[in-house]
Structure 1
Amino acid sequence: MPAARPAHLCVLAACLSLASAATWAQTSPLTVTPEQRRVAEQVASAGVPLSELAPNAPEQHTVQPGDTLWDISKLFLKSPWRWPELWGMNRDQIRNPHLIYPGQVLMLVKVDGRARLQVAQGVGGASTGDTVKLRPQMRIAGLNANAITAIPLHLIQPFLTDAVVFDIDQLATAPRIVAAQEGHVILGKGDLAYARGDFGTASEFRVFRTTRPLVDPTTREVLGYEAPYVGTAEITRAAENRVTPDGKPEIVPATLRVTAVKQEVGIGDRLAPAPARNLERYVPHAPDAPLSGQIAAIYGEALNAGQNQIVALNRGKRDGVERGHVLALWRDGERVVDRTGGRPEAIKLPNERHGVLFVFEVYERVSYALIISVKEPVKAGDRFTQP
């Protein structure tokens, strides 16, 4: 496609690689909320104002392996979490905003001060520079890659087992490691451990150290109990209650094999069943209602946090926090003395927005967020709001 293309010819889009409506239904793992659908419907009728586009929004973009909805939204829109607008611009063609594939050509068109979306498919391949034909109808294309994700999942996956909060200190009564093979004090991957407790029907477990309370920076309320993750283990032999030949009861603990470690597993560590994780449900979106709170803690031992680190928030399900919420980080303005007038006078500088959080795990009274971008170190007590 020629580099200089009239702005009114094209819009952003991606065709669905689906053979039928039934196939689409089976491959759609995400739920579109009523608010997201409302925004999409509203935008679809007229497109978005040009003022909402990123300053350097390209006229076209070929989706590459490794692209995410966040990346693409950031190319075309000022606020990358506003994916319903990105989806809504081609509402008739993209029935599910999460089914966008590498190789699809995304085009941008500007008409009468508005931007809309249209599908374009490369002829003879999808590489940059190919001639592009606009396809106003849905096309069934043989795409060899999976649909792109909403955000870079590799930033979150390492923490899905690390960051765990219990509403009550339930680990106090959870199964516990009571001994190790050959008298070992610490265990590594592949070592055997022996544990007692109620294992239920689970066979795979996460191993945790003693919990620490998460406290609200303002109210001092205990929001939950954070459990430091140390590894995983699986049961290889169930516990037994035997009777010795002389008629005395004998307890034989369950045998577990350590399958992964973040740090050494030790006697006294507690076990909790490993939950199933659905990584596809992380869709960036702003809260539907005003939301504000504070950083309750920095995950781990650090006093401050930076980009790609995790923080605990003092808001959870009861406050309306959802997975995928994008939040703005604020730094309180300093209190200084104005000495430029006739007499010194105390003043407070304005609060400054300096980062973006992405919520990936939500509990009743607390949630975990990834710091996606930040200008200054983040510390407990820092504030956040809707973006």
Structure 2
Amino acid sequence: MIKKFAMLLGGMFFTVAVYAAASQLRPNHPDTYTVRRGDTLWDISARFLSKPWLWPEIWQANPQVRNPHLIYPGDVLNLSMTGGGPRIGLEPRVREEGEPVTAIPLSELRMFLKEMRVMNADEVEQSPYLVGFEESHLRATPGNKIYARDLDSAQPGQRWAIVRPTHRFRDHGGSEGGTDLVGNPSHGSFVADELDSDVSMAPSPWREDTRHDTHVGKGDDRGVEVSVIGTGEVIATNGDVTTLVLVDSTLEVRKGDRLMQVDDSPYDPYFYPHAPKAMPADPRVLGFADAMIGVGSRQVVSISAGTADGIDNGTTFTVMNQGETIADEVSGNYNRRDTSRKVKLPDEYAGHIMVFRTFDHVSYALVMDALRPLRKGDKLVLPE
């Protein structure tokens, strides 16, 4: 009896998945699609789904596609409607050389996947650090000996990542309750204070315009971003000081640079987009990379939620631009300077983002599509 019930329940779930998939198909979806170099799973799904983040549900309901992460350029996807719902078939063709298509363009995100980490400020300040270099050099380049303190667990042959702070993320939606000059809630992240007087900041990818914020330097601390700038290999330990050789570096290494364990597998190459398992409290866009005012499709944003808030790789959000707070010039006796009565305009849909790397209270996300520029402080809501 239990076995029959389980089979019936499984059939119900399959039927529901197929029905949900059919309801999301675009009316003008193509019957076939030939996978091209540079495609992503999101791009392909967007051609025939009104909600492209649902592609895992559809392909899970269609066993013809055994693994959507093993689709290559040159393969042909057949999409057809039958009496039982949508069916997606895969016809392998003469394949081009190259890797299978990915959910997101990983090659464009290397810096954020391999070279950036977000940690608690205490973790950074209490980590091992460099105190000097051979022959009293002021800087070190690959091949030089470097000396570190507090590296008590080091063993000869072990490699350590050399990192330098780049950014401090602060959420201005917390207890400070900051607002900008027109009365809108102020959420954002700001360039970090130096955590060590001997160490200047490494170049940061985050570009924000903080001129119009009245609470710069305040707000809830979400974490400190550090950049991996080199690798050192332990060659000897001598009491309080450990000797390493600088194996490689992207910047000149300085006194005060921190050492952290090498992360051999810093990211997961497979992503399955899904709605948040639990909605965090008031998640926002903290900042964006390589832009001043706003970002669009295929650009990276940081958000004010991480693993501690239930966020994992693949979590997908809809982004809403905050509605402006403006003066009601009609009820204000037609005086444009009378701001005693204000009205907040509705939030507007901006686009979708998908998380690709998480930390405790901050995550990096890729803008998957955008109808309008995404801005600092934009709200994140369920992907509908």
Instruction: Show the counterpart of 2:246.
Output: 257
- Mean Cα deviation higher: 370-379 or 270-279: 370-379
Q: Is the partner of 1:160 in helix, strand or coil?
A: helix
Instruction: Show the counterpart of 1:378.
Output: 375
CA distance in 1 between partners of 2:92 and 2:292 (Å): 50
Matched, 1:287 2:257: no
Give unmatched runs, 5+ long, in structure 1: 1-36, 127-142, 242-250
Instruction: Report deviation, 1:107.
Output: 0.9
Instruction: Report deviation, 1:322.
Output: 1.0
From 337, 343, 358, the counterpart of 1:347: 343
From 42, 61, 72, the counterpart of 1:101: 72
User: Normalised by the size of structure 1, how large is the TM-score?
Assistant: 0.70
Matched, 1:331 2:321: yes
From 237, 240, 265, the counterpart of 2:238: 240
Identical amino acids, percent of aligned pairs: 32
CA deviations over 1:141-164 (Å, ceiling 9, x no partner): xx9754332211113222123431
CA distance in 2 between partners of 1:275 and 1:295 (Å): 28
Aligned-partner residue type, residue 64 of structure 1: R
Give unmatched runs, 5+ long, in structure 2: 1-9, 176-218, 335-340
Q: Is the partner of 2:282 in helix, strand or coil?
A: strand
Instruction: Show the counterpart of 2:178.
Output: none
CA distance in 2 between partners of 1:264 and 1:178 (Å): 14
CA contact (8 A) 1:83 1:285 kept: no
Instruction: Report deviation, 1:59.
Output: 1.5
Instruction: Show the counterpart of 1:41.
Output: 14
CA distance in 1 between partners of 2:166 and 2:287 (Å): 15
Q: Is the partner of 2:318 in helix, strand or coil?
A: strand
Q: CA RMSD, aligned part only?
A: 3.5
Distance 1:312 1:44, change over 3 A: closer
CA contact (8 A) 2:299 2:367 kept: yes
CA distance in 2 between partners of 1:357 and 1:224 (Å): 20
Distance 1:225 1:319, change over 3 A: closer
Instruction: Show the counterpart of 2:260.
Output: 272
User: Normalised by the size of structure 2, how large is the TM-score?
Assistant: 0.70
CA distance in 1 between partners of 2:100 and 2:106 (Å): 13
Instruction: Report deviation, 1:198.
Output: 1.8
CA contact (8 A) 1:309 1:371 kept: yes
Distance 1:41 1:183, change over 3 A: farther
Larger radius of gyration: 1
Matched, 1:69 2:41: yes
Instruction: Report deviation, 1:331.
Output: 1.3
Aligned-partner residue type, residue 124 of structure 2: L
Instruction: Report deviation, 1:74.
Output: 1.6
Instruction: Show the counterpart of 2:192.
Output: none
CA distance in 1 between partners of 2:254 and 2:12 (Å): 51
CA distance in 1 between partners of 2:332 and 2:257 (Å): 64
